[in-house]
Amino acid sequence: MSDAAVLIVEDDANLRQALSHTLDSGEYPVLTAESGPEALSILGSTPVGLVVSDIQMEPMSGHELLGCIREDYPDLPAVLMTAYGTIQSAVDVMRNGAADYLVKPFEAKDLIDTVDRHMRSKPDSDQPLAVDAKSVELLRVARRVARSEATVTISGESGTGKEVIARFIHQNSERCDQPFVAINCAAIPENMLEAILFGHEKGAFTGANKSHAGKFEQANGGTLLLDEISEMDLGLQAKILRVIQEREVERIGGERTIDLDVRVLATTNRNLRQFVDDGKFREDLFYRLNVFPLHIPPLRQRPADIVPLAEMLIARLYDGHDVIPQLSDDAIDALSEHEWTGNVRELENVIQRSLILHSGETIAAGDLAFENSGEHCSPDQCAGAPLQDDLRKTEFNLIVDALREGGGNKTETAARLGISPRTLRYKLARMRAAGMAIPDSASKTTH
């Protein structure tokens, strides 16, 4: 179990207890507070990795609490819960610096997935595991580049641990005592990303009732991670380039520049050089970010890491228990022979499911619940699985058909589907990460 806790801030006692109970059986310890002031008191004395707070509270609202967190703990992620599921409320909480939002009522799984996605671990738990020779060499190089001020681009397939390496670089740099701020460029709508990165002044746009520092300001003195940088709009890329070059930022609606001392790291699961050649990524920004490139090999190419990673995950999930389950020889063979198209993220999911299914002190090969195996589902789960598969296949087929009809042009395809090009790229990436083969005729982009 991680030492850093999830802090639930909710003034409704029944809901607070229900949220706490939902997370109690998970990987993280849970703390609760019934008000914003109590939450700030806890933050001042206890390691917290994520705050999940209601918005409508007295005497301090969730928005006000978020402002205090952004000012005093700029690298601490916060998720806000709102009963008003409007687009505007979502835009507001993201612009104000929230990592994410949940619209009430939500399912227990939604809460757990959100916590897993945004939980900030303590530095020791972020230490990468390296047994395979390729991983050992990667960490050796990463440790050396960490001591410099060079901008680093970390590439690799989804789920390989790019953010873990980024945190490792920060923690081994002279900036380790300063903020580490990460932002996923693929997960935030284009019309919000600029305000979140650069900040804004009061009255800069409709709904901007207060001034807010952007991610560059929050990371001042420390490190800013631009996660999945390849998904950023070309127009915003030009503005990012200027900020990095000039080492200063101007908030939206502002009239003064703010000096910056920020080390920028970037991650991508794309071939950025190819993106430059295809006109999808600015060449000048590419060279500015790619001063020192690091590539993380997929898990299948560093097989010596597989079993140690599995054992580490089991130990982490069973922290505090008297007996930690051990992998049997046949389980070790099964893990070693698996393809791991989803990399470390897939391995973690398999281990979590297998720990639920196993009995006794040993995890056998038959306990390993690999993706789409369908061997261990309950009657209810098995009844729902075909529907889940049908929905996924329907979405996949719609996207592929639209790509073909658009001659492979992703901009036209996105318009046909009624989604943004960014969302289309994100869905295609998720489809590839899930092992879905996109036909060659549908994967080419025309210009």
- State the chain's mean pLDDT as an integer: 83
- What CATH code is carried by the domain that includes residue 426? 1.10.10
**pLDDT the model gives residue 96:** 76
**pLDDT the model gives residue 116:** 83
- pLDDT confidence of 125, banded at 50, 70, 90? very low
- pLDDT confidence of 8, banded at 50, 70, 90? very high
Residue span of the structural domain in which 355 resides: 300-367
Highest mean pLDDT out of 54-63, 94-103, 231-240: 231-240
Tell me if 373 is assigned to some domain: no
Tell me if 251 is assigned to some domain: yes
**pLDDT the model gives residue 204:** 79
Tell me if 327 is assigned to some domain: yes
Q: Which residues pair with 101 in a beta bridge?
A: 80
**Into how many domains does the chain fold?**
4
Are 189 and 277 contained in the same domain?
yes
Kindly tell me if the per-residue pLDDT of 405 is higher than 90: no
**pLDDT the model gives residue 2:** 46
**pLDDT the model gives residue 145:** 95
Kindly tell me if the per-residue pLDDT of 124 is higher than 60: no
Tell me if 372 is assigned to some domain: no
Whole-number CA gyration radius for the chain: 22
Kindly tell me if the per-residue pLDDT of 298 is higher than 50: yes
Q: Where does a domain end: 118, 141, 157?
A: 118
3-class DSSP assignment, residue 51: strand
Are 158 and 288 contained in the same domain?
yes
Q: Flag the least confident range among 121-135, 201-215, 368-382.
A: 368-382
**pLDDT the model gives residue 238:** 95
Are 218 and 172 contained in the same domain?
yes
Q: Which is nearest to 343 in space by CA: 286, 391, 302?
A: 302
Q: Residue 201: phi, psi to the nearest 5?
A: -95, 160
Q: Where does a domain end: 63, 97, 118?
A: 118
Beta-carbon neighbour count of residue 385 at 10 Å? 13
**pLDDT the model gives residue 269:** 94
Contact between 54 and 81 (Cβ < 8 Å): yes
Query: Per residue in 99-127, is it b (16+ CB within 10 Å) or e — as a string?
Result: bbbbeeeeeeeebeebbeebbbbeeeebe
- Give the burial class of 418: count Cβ atoms within 10 A of its Cβ; 0-12 exposed, 13-18 middle, 19 or more buried: exposed
Are 293 and 342 contained in the same domain?
no
- pLDDT confidence of 437, banded at 50, 70, 90? low
Q: Flag the least confident range among 47-56, 323-332, 396-405.
A: 396-405
Tell me if 153 is assigned to some domain: yes
Beta carbons within 8 Å of 74's beta carbon, 6+ residues apart: 179, 181, 213, 218, 219
Are 265 and 137 contained in the same domain?
yes
Kindly tell me if the per-residue pLDDT of 380 is higher than 50: no
**pLDDT the model gives residue 183:** 93
Q: Flag the least confident range among 177-181, 300-304, 364-368, 374-378.
A: 374-378
Tokens of 77: 């992620």
- pLDDT confidence of 372, banded at 50, 70, 90? low
- pLDDT confidence of 401, banded at 50, 70, 90? confident
- pLDDT confidence of 102, banded at 50, 70, 90? confident
- pLDDT confidence of 445, banded at 50, 70, 90? very low
The full DSSP string for 87-156 is HHHHHHHHHTT-SEEEESS--HHHHHHHHHHHPPPPGGGGPPP--SHHHHHHHHHHHHHHTS---EEEE-
Kindly tell me if the per-residue pLDDT of 179 is higher than 80: yes
Are 165 and 231 contained in the same domain?
yes
Tell me if 374 is assigned to some domain: no
Are 212 and 160 contained in the same domain?
yes
Are 111 and 131 contained in the same domain?
no
pLDDT tens, position by position, 250-291? 999 988 999 999 999 999 999 999 999 999 999 999 999 999
Are 247 and 290 contained in the same domain?
yes
Tell me if 132 is assigned to some domain: yes
- pLDDT confidence of 446, banded at 50, 70, 90? very low
**pLDDT the model gives residue 168:** 93
**pLDDT the model gives residue 378:** 41
Are 154 and 277 contained in the same domain?
yes
Q: Flag the least confident range among 155-164, 195-204, 260-269.
A: 195-204
Whether the full predicted model's pTM is greater than 0.85, yes or no, is no
**pLDDT the model gives residue 379:** 40
Are 433 and 324 contained in the same domain?
no
- What CATH code is carried by the domain that includes residue 69? 3.40.50.2300
Q: Where does a domain end: 118, 136, 162?
A: 118
**pLDDT the model gives residue 375:** 42
Are 173 and 223 contained in the same domain?
yes
How many residues make up the chain in this entry? 447
d(CA 62, CA 80): 7
Mean pLDDT of the region 367-394: 53
d(CA 431, CA 157): 12
- What CATH code is carried by the domain that includes residue 257? 3.40.50.300
